[in-house]
Amino acid sequence: MKGLDDMLRRAQEMQSKMLRIQEELGGLTVTGSAGGGMIRVTATGRQEITDVLIDKACVDPEDVELLQDLVRAAANDALRLARELAEKEMAAVTGGLKLPGRS
C-alpha cells in the first residue's frame, strides 16, 4: 500500500507542477517572423497570438496575397515556437515522458 500511496502522491505533485507551468506559459512570449522580419507575430506560451506588427514597406495594395502569405507564415512560426517552449517547460516536469494529448 505504501508504494501505491507514494505513486499517487508523486502523480499529484506532477499534476500540480504542470498546472503551475501552464499558468506561467501565459506570461511567456515568443515572436515569429516572415519576410526578413517585416512581419512579426507574438504569441504566448499558451499559443495565443497577442501582437501582429507589419512594416509599412511590405503593404502593397496590388499584392494583398503576398501580405496574407507573410502574416500566415509569421503566425505559424510564432505558434511553432510557442509549442516548442511549452514542450520544453513541460519536459522539465515530466522528465521527457510523452503524455497523452501532447505531441
- Its pTM stands at 0.75
Torsion of CA 17, 77, 39, 53, to 10 degrees: -20
How many other CB atoms sit within 10 Å of the CB of residue 85? 19
pLDDT greater than 80 at residue 78: yes
pLDDT(82) > 80: yes
> 96 or 65: whose pLDDT is higher?
65
CA gap 102, 87 in Å, rounded: 8
Instruction: Choose the weakest-confidence range: 26-30, 32-36, 39-43.
Output: 26-30
Confidence band for 65, pLDDT divided at 50, 70 and 90: very high
- In the DSSP assignment, the letter for residue 98 is P
Cell 506561467 belongs to residue: 24
